[in-house]
A and B are shown apart, each in its own frame.
Chain A
């Protein structure tokens, strides 16, 4: 087990607000190998972004708190690491791509300078000419002419800004890339371009990647493995093939699939998942999905199901107890 790049064990994160304690992550566990691409799927509020911020230890100060569990990155205990160590990891070894490229670039700094800054922070031994050359290279690589490096972000379109965001994330050649819904703010044609570019660069640098999204199509296209997150815990994980064949799925995953229009069958209505996300300030005792689940039994309301594994595919639901539990 020691060779995993990233290991998250039983992670609990809560936000202490004035009104209530919000349980954002409730025992999230996942592992990631070098070069692997993992899709993290879940609806709004499931804790996907909280997970990404926890990995970088950038939860809002005083409000966000890791109460239990561990995060180990390449042998380093992230939770115990001090600020200085974390600054060395951020950007250099773990980089992040943001959801909204419109706001994730500093409007008064040229794009070249913003990429240059990352190099300045993490490669003090590099001389200026080398750094400049590296900026030019990475810009060309993401498909921006290097002659535009002295222009300001407002002159670029959304897709181009996201390319710049990717350039910024990859310029230091990190081992892990966290992409927090990188294509949500872009239109569909640009989405495809950006995903294609990310995959190409991921292969080129052999970067591991966590792709956070609520778009199952993107995951199918892009990732090797999937975890489905609900109410702050992983409820299903497996390879893309295992999950997407839809032979065996957690009822929630099934619900997600049912809410996507399928062009091959003639159905008038989509089947949405009834109800809303469980209130994270007041979590139920048993299975967190019980109140919305059509297969719900008595045991679901009183006892939280463990993970039932079948090979690499595991599901957190009592329905699968007989098959893979023992």
Chain B
């Protein structure tokens, strides 16, 4: 234990955060499951023939999960396991892309609004308010309806719906940081505003944003699945967890595994991402230091 403590004190701030995170069992479990899922999806071509995703076979419809097909087959005789793994590539990746894009937009706008305040803040935040006033799902549907269906358009729609939340979070933490003395010190060194915002202020206020992004990732995956289920997300036959659910919804009554398995993948990945988010929040909170 003593040895442990010594190591701890020699660590950087990032080191301390990782250390605290690693002590949280639930968060580590979540991280492990998510990592496993991502690895499974990335390495999919090594163990699944891509043809299995689309290949229909009327002779092999509705085979229950078992030795030949681990997760069974759907109404067209397509292998559900192949579809779910390839679907995960879209679901998880799309979630990441949406959150990343929303983060970039949100952090930039929120950082500028929070740092300068006044009129700039007012203009940016009122734009955000407009986007926030429309329900996320409705906004995504409207964008898809206006631009037409497609994976990229859906990602764009979800990003636009998600960025105001991040902008608000960043703005709030920047406003408390912009009056810190080290910001003034940086100004006294002749640092430009842009550099102060993105090198000194934003990195210091990123903690809460990382947490809300991790938690938002789960929500985004869910939103993509919901859009897929409603038939305006990723278009069938391209596999995506929500789309798979949607395709199979008519047969769920007699072949419940068709709904249970993709549903479980959605539930597990969202839950694990939430565990990770909670763990991160605790790890970033200095009051939890022990």
Contacts and interface: CB of A to CB of B under 8 A. Distances in A.
Nearest to A90: B190
Given A62-B118, A104-B181, A106-B204, A91 B13 contact: no
Contact of B188 (A90, A105, A106, A107): A90
A165 B184 CA distance: 13
Contacts of B118: 62
A122 interface: yes
Nearest to B189: A91
Interface in B206-245: none
A90 B184 contact: no
Interface string A66-88: 00000000000000000000111
A41 interface: no
B17 to A, nearest CB: 11
Contact of B184 (A92, A98, A118): A98
A155 to B, nearest CB: 9
Interface string A82-120: 000011111110011011100111111100000001100
A152 interface: yes
B97 to A, nearest CB: 27
A154 interface: yes
Contacts of A107: 13, 182, 204
B13 A106 contact: no
Contacts of A118: 189-190
A56 B188 contact: yes
Interface in B1-36: 12-13
Which of B118, B185, B187 neighbours the largest number of chain A CB atoms within 10 Å of its CB? Answer: B185
B181 A91 contact: no
Contact of A108 (B13, B181, B186): B13
Contact of B181 (A62, A92, A98, A154): A98
A98 B188 CA distance: 10
B68 interface: no
Which of B13, B182, B187, B199 neighbours the largest number of chain A CB atoms within 10 Å of its CB? Answer: B182
Given A107-B13, A154-B13, A96 B190 contact: no
Given A89-B190, A91-B190, A96 B13 contact: no
A58 B190 contact: no
B192 interface: yes
Interface in B105-141: 118
B180 interface: yes
A122 B189 CA distance: 9
B255 to A, nearest CB: 53
A217 B47 CA distance: 79
Given A62-B118, A106-B200, A87 B192 contact: yes
Given A107-B13, A107-B204, A88 B190 contact: yes
B235 to A, nearest CB: 44
Interface in B155-199: 180-182, 184-192, 199
A121 interface: yes
B200 A109 contact: yes
A231 interface: no
A205 B254 CA distance: 87
Nearest to A86: B190
Contacts of A109: 199-200
B210 to A, nearest CB: 13
A168 interface: yes
A117 B189 contact: yes
A88 B192 CA distance: 10
Nearest to B206: A108
Interface residues of B, number: 19
Interface string A45-67: 00000000000101000100000
B198 to A, nearest CB: 12
B66 interface: no
A99 B184 CA distance: 12
Contacts of B203: 108
Given A103-B180, A168-B185, A122 B190 contact: yes
A96 to B, nearest CB: 4
B185 A105 contact: yes
Contacts of B181: 98-100, 103-104
Contacts of A86: 190
Contacts of A106: 182, 186, 200, 204
Nearest to B187: A58
A126 B14 CA distance: 31
B184 A58 contact: yes
Contacts of B186: 106, 117
B216 to A, nearest CB: 23
Contacts of A103: 180-182
A86 B187 CA distance: 10
B209 to A, nearest CB: 14
Nearest to A93: B190
A151 B187 CA distance: 22
B191 to A, nearest CB: 6
Contacts of A88: 190
26 contacts: A56-B187, A86-B190, A90-B187, A90-B188, A90-B189, A91-B190, A95-B188, A98-B181, A99-B181, A103-B181, A104-B181, A105-B185, A106-B186, A106-B200, A107-B182, A108-B204, A109-B200, A117-B189, A118-B189, A118-B190, A121-B191, A122-B190, A152-B12, A152-B13, A154-B13, A165-B185
Given A87-B190, A96-B188, 4 more contacts: A90-B187, A91-B191, A98-B184, A118-B190
